[in-house]
Amino acid sequence: MTILGVDHVEFSVADARQTASSLCRVLGFRVLGQGGPESGLDGALSVLIGQGEARIRLTSGLNAAHPASGYVARHGDGVSAVAFRTDDAAAAYADAVAAGASPLAPPSVSEDEHGTVTCASVSGFGDVAHHLIERQGAGNGLPGITAAPDAEPDDTGGELLIHGIDHAAACVPGGSLEATALYYEKAFGFRLIFEEYIEVGAQAMFSKVVQSPSGTATFTFLEPDLSHRAGQIDDFLAWHEGPGVQHLALTTTDIAATVTELSARGTQFAQTPPSYYAMLGERIGASDVPVERLAPLGILVDRDHWGRMYQIFATSTHIRRTFFWELIERHGSRTFGTSNIPALYAAKERELAAFRETTEAG
């Protein structure tokens, strides 16, 4: 079996329609379809939104027994599944289970006028599952989801601000990083492409990045160094009540224009001090995007062996501060650089400081 990429990411949320409306307004997604008991979904309401190749499924339980309701009760709104597109869902399911994955749903086939979809589900990490999706035909539909009247089978979501999903970043408890990365290598055929030990002040963390052989599905896993002072990863694990997806990175082909547009729509982004740009040329060489465009927006620049990347974190609007979005534009880069990590960490630290004080006081 071959993992062809990320088919969609599923969020379990308290109110799928309200969340969909918000993401369409501030990030430029559009509704591609929705479903509920009337379309075959048992005890749930789902809204499918998309833009470019990015697909987000938002699911709310309609009763306390539904898994989405349980997820929200434990963690608040968040990523409950990352669906992998595969060339053979049954084989992917069998391989993953043989490698130690817990079977959650065996392969099942659904069909409409656009083709057939085979779906199966296995465990990932924490309460995050992986759906295995095999498509035969032109459609991008999902079982139980009725396409919006104006959505074409291969709808890309209209004018594009976002083009796809670059990676998911997840936090795991201290001491579990090695086993988590190894699980993805064995169960899904991923490869370790990057690892780093990061110290920022008195805080520290370990990072491993695993990626499908196709290069189209990537996870960054982070664990705290328990010998150092507790920091952002520890905060996430406490506030989220366990491991989970901390952020999703969305790709764009013009990050400066996208940040400008999303800011006008109400998205807030992390602030970067002017001093970051003072020695930028010496750190990463000549930038493909003029610093005069980057600095006013707070966009960071990094590089790996193959090229440059431009990144920025959005400010978290999550009530627990356990999820946020990242924008990334790659100019040849394939992995991740290291020079941005202190700046990204510091930007998020400034945002979380006040929330942390409020939480500790409570």
Q: For residue 325, give the amino acid letter.
A: W
The CA radius of gyration of the chain, in Å to the nearest whole number, is 20
DSSP 269: B
Is 278 a domain residue? Answer: yes
Residues 126 and 199 in one domain: no
- In this prediction, residue 340 carries a pLDDT of 78
**CA–CA gap between residue 240 and residue 43 (Å, rounded):** 24
Is 152 a domain residue? Answer: no
Is 119 a domain residue? Answer: yes
Q: How many domains does the chain have?
A: 2
- What predicted TM-score, i.e. pTM, was given to this entire model? 0.93
Taking residues 234-254, what's their average pLDDT? 98
Residues 176 and 31 in one domain: no
Phi, psi torsion values for 326, nearest 5 degrees: -125, 145
Residues 175 and 318 in one domain: yes
Contacts of 101 (CB under 8 A, 6+ apart): 122, 123, 130, 183, 187
* Complete DSSP assignment for 290-333: -HHHHGGGT-EEEE-SS-EEEEEEBPP--TTS--EEEEEEEEB-
Residues 204 and 242 in one domain: yes
247 assigned ligand-binding residue: yes
- In this prediction, what percent of the chain has a pLDDT beyond 90? 77
Residues 255 and 335 in one domain: yes
Is 317 a domain residue? Answer: yes
Residues 105 and 183 in one domain: no
Does the pLDDT of residue 329 top 60, yes or no? yes
Is 154 a domain residue? Answer: no
Q: What is the mean pLDDT of the chain?
A: 92
Residues 100 and 168 in one domain: no
Domain closes at, from 115, 147, 179: 147
- In this prediction, residue 359 carries a pLDDT of 67
**CA–CA gap between residue 357 and residue 362 (Å, rounded):** 9
Residues 113 and 262 in one domain: no
Does the pLDDT of residue 245 top 80, yes or no? yes
Q: What confidence tens digit (pLDDT) does each residue in 160-186 have? A: 899 999 999 999 999 999 999 999 999
Residue-range definition of the domain harbouring residue 126: 3-147
Q: What confidence tens digit (pLDDT) does each residue in 183-202 have? A: 999 999 999 999 999 888 89
CA atoms within 13 Å, Cβ hemisphere of 94:
5
**CA–CA gap between residue 27 and residue 12 (Å, rounded):** 18
Instruction: Catalogue the E-assigned strands of the chain.
Output: 3-12, 30-35, 44-51, 54-61, 78-86, 103-112, 115-125, 128-137, 146-147, 164-171, 191-200, 203-211, 218-224, 244-251, 300-303, 308-313, 324-331
Structural tokens at position 327: 């924008």
- In this prediction, residue 361 carries a pLDDT of 59
Residues 83 and 179 in one domain: no
Residues 229 and 280 in one domain: yes
Q: How confident is the model at residue 304 (pLDDT cuts 50, 70, 90)?
A: confident
Domain closes at, from 92, 121, 147: 147
Residues 109 and 137 in one domain: yes
**Surface-to-core class of residue 74, CB atoms within 10 Å of its CB (0-12 exposed, 13-18 middle, 19+ buried):** middle
Q: Which domain CATH number covers 118?
A: 3.10.180.10
Residues 81 and 177 in one domain: no
Is 153 a domain residue? Answer: no
Q: For residue 100, give the amino acid letter.
A: G
